[in-house]
Amino acid sequence: MTPAELSRTVLRSVRGAVEEQELSVPVPARIVVQPPPRPGCGDYASNVALQLAGPAGRPAREVAEILRKRLVGSAGIDRVEIAGPGFLNFTLGDGAQIALVRDVLAQGESYGDRSARSARSGRGVGGGGVAGGTVTDADADADADADAGPGSVTGTGPGAAAGSVRGAAAGSGTGSHASATPRGSRVSVTAPGARDVVVAEALARIEAAAGVAAHHGIRPGAGPASTPPDLDALIARLGADEARWVLLRPAAHDPVRVPERPVQRESNPRFRVQYAYARTRALVRNAGELGFASEPGEVGRPLTGGGSSSSPEDRSAPAVQPTPQQPTPPAHSLQTLQALQTLLATFPSVVEVAARLRAPDRVVRHLEATADAFFRWHDLFPPLPVGEQKPLAVHRARLALAEAGGTVLANGLRLLGISAPEHL
C-alpha cells in the first residue's frame, strides 16, 4: 500500500462516517498521511481526527475511534492505533510492502512520473525526466512560497569558459579548464544565469511528471536558446552532473557553494546517489551470473554481527548470513528496512510537492536519503548469497527491493537532468 492508497482509504472512511451520520463534518478534499516522527508508531500517521474534531464538535480521540473502527480490517492495513490527543497510527501488513516493491518494478521509469506513461520526450543536460504518480504528502509547509529562482553562486578555485551545456558530457568527472581565474577568487553569478537555467529545466521535468501546470515557458528537455557563460564555465570546471547537482541542491533562499573540484567518494552526495544506483545494477548483474532474478517477497532476517563495511570500495565483499539460532534482530535493523521502504513509497509525493512548491531541492534531498537508507539496509540484508550457499527466496526478495531502490534513484536523477550510470 502506497501513501496515496492509504490516504484514499482514510478518506473513504471519513466519507462513510459522514454518509452514515456518525460524523457531521465537511468531507475534506484530501487526507495527509506521512511517516511518524519517531520509531515505534507504525508505518504512517495522520492527524485527520484532530482536524475534524472542531467541525464535529467532539473530542479528537472520539473522532479517531470512529475512524479506527472503520479502518480496521482494510486491505493492506494490519493495525490502526490511536496515539496522544487523537493521532491515527497505521501499521501496514507484510503484503503491503511486497506489493509496493512489485508496483515500483512494474511501473519502472513511470514510477513517480505521469508524463512517462505517454510520450517520453525531453532529455535535458545529463539525462531526461522520468518518474511517476502523485500522492498526498504533508510536506506542503510554510515554505510553499519559496521561489526556486535565481540565487547567488559563490565558490573558490579556478573558473573556466569552455563548451556548451548541451554538448558537455553528462559524466561526473572534471572538465578541462579553457581559462582560469586566480585561485581563491570569488565567482559571482547573477540572474539570469546558471542557476536560473538549471532550475527551470529541472522544474519543467518535475512539473510534467507531477501533472502540475508549468509556471514557465520551457518544455521538458527544451533548454534555453543559448547557454549562459557562467554555466559553461561551471560545467567545464566540475562536469555536467556535478554542476547541476550543486546548483539544484540548495533551497531557493540558500546560496550555492561551489566545490573546489568534484570528489568521487562518499563525502560527495551526488557521487553517493549515483554510486547507490550503480550498486543496485551490479547486484542485478551478479545475481544473473548466479542464475537467479528478483522476485518481491519477504526479505528475511537482518545480519546481527554488525553488518558489512560502509565503504563503497568494500561493499562487494561477502557478508556472513544469519542463522536460525541467532536472537531476534534489534529494533534498529527493522527500522532500517522500514526507512528504505518508506522512502520508496513516498517518492511520487515528493515529486508532487517539489512541483507544487517549485523546489527541485526536495527531490535532491529525497535521493540523498534514499541512497543512505539503501546502503544501511544493504549492509544488514545482503541480497546475494555467500560462498557455496544457494540462492534462496529471501535473496530474490532482497534483490527485488534493491532493484526498486535503484528505480527510484534513476527516476529522480533523470528528473534532475543528471545521469544514472550503471557502472561507476
- State the Cα–Cα distance between residues 403 and 202, nearest whole angstrom: 25
Q: What pLDDT does 389 receive?
A: 83
The residues, any chain, with a CB within 8 Å of residue 84's CB and separated by 6 or more, are: none
Q: What pLDDT does 230 receive?
A: 84
Phi-psi region of 57 (alpha: psi -120 to 50; beta: other; left: phi over 0): left
Per-residue pLDDT, averaged over 371-382, amounts to 94
Yes or no: say if 352 and 115 are a contact pair by the CB < 8 Å rule: no
**Cis peptide leading into residue 192 (ω within 30°):** yes
- State the Cα–Cα distance between residues 304 and 362, nearest whole angstrom: 34
Who has greater pLDDT, 417 or 225?
417
Helix (H) or strand (E) holding 81: strand 77-83
- For 34, which DSSP code? B
List the one residue out of 119, 78, 100, 126 whose CA is nearest residue 347.
Answer: 100
For residue 209, give the C-alpha cell: 511528471
pLDDT in tens, 222-263: 555 566 778 888 899 899 999 999 999 999 889 988 888 878
The residues, any chain, with a CB within 8 Å of residue 302's CB and separated by 6 or more, are: 322, 329, 333, 334, 336, 337, 380, 381
The residues, any chain, with a CB within 8 Å of residue 295's CB and separated by 6 or more, are: 393, 396, 397, 399, 400
pLDDT interval class at 151 (50, 70, 90): very low
Q: With 60 as the cut, is the pLDDT of residue 91 above it?
A: yes
Q: What pLDDT does 226 receive?
A: 62
Helix (H) or strand (E) holding 377: helix 361-380
- State the Cα–Cα distance between residues 87 and 82, nearest whole angstrom: 6
pLDDT interval class at 362 (50, 70, 90): very high
List the one residue out of 46, 76, 40 whose CA is nearest residue 63.
Answer: 46
List the one residue out of 389, 420, 422, 423 whose CA is nearest residue 128.
Answer: 420
Half-sphere exposure of 154 (CA within 13 A, CB side): 5
Straight-line distance from the first to the last Cα atom of the chain, in angstroms, rounded to the nearest whole number: 33
Q: What pLDDT does 400 receive?
A: 96
Q: What pLDDT does 164 receive?
A: 33
pLDDT interval class at 175 (50, 70, 90): very low
- State the Cα–Cα distance between residues 125 and 139, nearest whole angstrom: 28
Who has greater pLDDT, 405 or 138?
405
Q: What pLDDT does 418 receive?
A: 96
β 87-92/44-46 pair status: antiparallel
Yes or no: say if 203 and 219 are a contact pair by the CB < 8 Å rule: no
- For 292, which DSSP code? -
Over the Cα atoms of the chain, what is R_g?
Answer: 23
pLDDT in tens, 102-131: 999 999 999 998 876 554 444 433 333 333
Q: What pLDDT does 109 receive?
A: 94
pLDDT in tens, 296-337: 998 888 865 544 433 444 444 334 444 444 444 556 777 888
Yes or no: say if 349 and 135 are a contact pair by the CB < 8 Å rule: yes
Q: With 50 as the cut, is the pLDDT of residue 159 above it?
A: no
Who has greater pLDDT, 217 or 53?
53
Highest mean pLDDT among 68-77, 93-102, 175-184, 388-397: 388-397
The residues, any chain, with a CB within 8 Å of residue 296's CB and separated by 6 or more, are: 98, 99, 101, 102, 105, 397, 400, 401
Q: What 3-state DSSP class applies to 362?
A: helix
- State the Cα–Cα distance between residues 222 and 35, nearest whole angstrom: 36
Q: What pLDDT does 334 receive?
A: 77
Place of cell 551478479: 286
Lowest mean pLDDT among 106-110, 144-148, 286-290: 144-148
Q: What pLDDT does 333 receive?
A: 74
Per-residue pLDDT, averaged over 375-388, amounts to 90
Which residue blocks in 290-326 are alpha helix, DSSP H? none
Place of cell 534531498: 365
Q: With 70 as the cut, is the pLDDT of residue 220 above it?
A: no
The whole model's pTM is what?
Answer: 0.68
- State the Cα–Cα distance between residues 391 and 393, nearest whole angstrom: 7
Q: With 90 as the cut, is the pLDDT of residue 370 above it?
A: yes
Whole-number average pLDDT of the chain: 77
- For 189, which DSSP code? B
